[in-house]
Structure 1
């Protein structure tokens, strides 16, 4: 009989780890909101950043996993967990590769919210996905649907910047930074390809890390026949012996 993987959904270290993620993500965003109110930054701009949105999704995910037992979650929950994991991890990677200044990538002098939302939370959520198996086996082909949110985000950012107020959350979405809309094909395409590859990697890791449920010690297994009581066996024998054809002679 296989032993149950120790880092399961209700294990004490896993619960503690998720509480830390929840508190870190919530505190970082609360600090962000404080800075937003003091600096006069528009809320419509602050909450339009993909990093902020993905960290808010992490807060919802952690609350869900801590409050709702695994057995009571819907069948599609593992795909939601995988998608949010991919979003926040990729947000951290895109920041490090495309958006951070060269001296910021490995620096520890950056402010707390930047470090929390771009470094600590992404990698802590990534480790949670790596070490705590899903309840059901992930179908990698279905993970293509995880791209719906990044694509919708891209469309909304372009609609807002192009038709509403001219503001774009990131340079790789701003046509003014690349000589017009045609110049966005390469920088935006790079990010979309990175997201697609990253999503497939996260889904594949989830599928490989899946551990089927282990039967309980008192279970006789699905193929074992049910046991019959002594009284039922005696009744069966009595019924057989009293059958009109059981002791009849041949014609």
Structure 2
């Protein structure tokens, strides 16, 4: 791992944590409320990223075991989807949750940061395709919880999940199908790129070890 990566992870985690703190304070003192604040997928995904980056940074500094690659990959998937959905669907809606710079950090900076981290420090070994299926578990649970809670309390975190908007549940079902397809496609891409980079790193490591062994015998 690059020597600068551990402090970089800690720095990014600190920036995101500050943004989440401002977002939480804004929600707690405004009309959103703390419970609804944690109903946003953006908040949950960024909170997970803060934990993963902070633990990864500390592990790099003190020489402890790294964060498991399947966990890192899940965070990459969730935040990349967050950035894509925000950029293509949600950016046009007035956001009452956070202030503008917080939006930029949580929806733009963090997805790019965790994706860069995945590319710079790919998995130590190839991940099985079943890992990608496990990554879909949390979004499915989130969707079920959000729809049930929304039906019970009349509040939905995103307009495309609100059946009260024009189109009703048919529109919600269509939106969920599109987002689910995006999760599958992006998840497969994250897995494929990580495995390709892991294989290339293994190949380079094998060649380097082979050169060292050859040097010792000559």
| In structure 1, C-alpha distance between the alignment counterparts of 2:59 and 2:125, rounded to whole Å | 16
1:72 and 2:65 equivalent?
yes
Alignment of 1:104-143 (within 5 A): 111-143=100-132
Q: Greater helix percent: which structure?
A: 2
| In structure 2, C-alpha distance between the alignment counterparts of 1:103 and 1:161, rounded to whole Å | 20
Q: Secondary structure at the match of 1:189?
A: helix
Q: Secondary structure at the match of 1:100?
A: helix
Q: Which runs of 5+ in 1 are unaligned?
A: 1-7, 105-109, 222-251
TM-score normalised according to structure 1 size: 0.73
Structure 2 equivalent of residue 180 of structure 1: 168
Q: Which runs of 5+ in 2 are unaligned?
A: 214-218
| In structure 1, C-alpha distance between the alignment counterparts of 2:19 and 2:54, rounded to whole Å | 16
Alignment of 1:68-217 (within 5 A): 68=59, 72-73=65-66, 77-101=68-92, 111-162=100-151, 164-210=152-198, 211-212=201-202, 214=205
| In structure 1, C-alpha distance between the alignment counterparts of 2:29 and 2:161, rounded to whole Å | 27
| In structure 2, C-alpha distance between the alignment counterparts of 1:207 and 1:71, rounded to whole Å | 23
| In structure 2, C-alpha distance between the alignment counterparts of 1:178 and 1:202, rounded to whole Å | 34
Judged with a 3 Å threshold, the aligned counterparts in structure 2 of structure 1 residues 169 and 102 are, in CA distance, closer, same or farther, namely closer
| Alignment coverage as a number of residue pairs | 204
1:24 touches 1:121 (CA, 8 Å); kept in 2?
no
Aligned with residue 37 of structure 2, among 32, 46, 50: 46
Structure 1 equivalent of residue 216 of structure 2: none
Shift of 1:31: 1.2
**Aligned CA-pair RMSD:** 2.6
| In structure 2, C-alpha distance between the alignment counterparts of 1:79 and 1:201, rounded to whole Å | 14
1:37 and 2:28 equivalent?
yes
1:144 touches 1:200 (CA, 8 Å); kept in 2?
no
Shift of 1:100: 0.9
Shift of 1:101: 1.3
TM-score normalised according to structure 2 size: 0.84
